[in-house]
Amino acid sequence: MTKAIKLLTALPQAQRERLMELAKEVSFAEDTRIFEAGGTADRFWVIRSGAVHLDQQVTSRQRVTVATLGAGDLLGWSWLFPPYQWDFGSVAFSNVRAYEFDGPSVLALCVEDPLLGLSLVRSVAEILAHRLETTRGKLMDQYALGRRSPL
């Protein structure tokens, strides 16, 4: 299984400092919906404190939490890939403090500094690979539980 990484600590110091020049400190109160699946993805966050649920709407009345993110975790990657729309929704599970980054500004910085761009994309890819493996494991556990039920 891939190792969980934190975006800011994964970047070399000089690249992290350049990226942090674009950071804006924000906060979200508990139960605040941060973004909704299908909405325009033009930013991302690195959580400083608190917790955020990623969720998926499964019926008109039901959302399922697919991941819980905490301090140091990347929230949002859809700003990096066309069509720049959120794949999931997110809600603050507790009061959250985060660094917010404007996606187009970060993409422009990546064009200006290709080494930073490569490091950023590789780090995001590692984060996504870890989350995919974690989700796959949870699905396999759920499947195994269902298979063990009495006939």
pLDDT tens-digit profile of 68-87? 999 999 999 999 999 999 99
Q: Domain total for the chain? A: 1
pTM of the model: 0.87
Centre a 10 Å sphere on the Cβ of residue 87 and count the other Cβ atoms it contains. Answer: 14
Residue 12 lies in a domain: yes
Range of the domain at 30: 7-141
Q: pLDDT for 6-41, tens place per residue?
A: 999 989 999 999 999 999 999 999 999 999 999 999
Residue at 110 is within a domain: yes
* Predicted pLDDT of residue 44: 98
Q: Cβ(99)–Cβ(20) under 8 Å?
A: yes
Q: Is residue 83 part of a domain?
A: yes
**Does the residue 91 lie in any domain?**
yes
The answer to the question of residue 65 being in a domain is: yes
For 110, other C-beta atoms within 10 Å of its C-beta total 18
* Strand 52-57, strand 43-49: pairing: unpaired
- 2 domain-assigned: no
Q: Is residue 116 part of a domain?
A: yes
Closest alpha carbon to 97 in 4, 43, 24, 19: 24
CATH number of the domain to which 42 belongs: 2.60.120.10
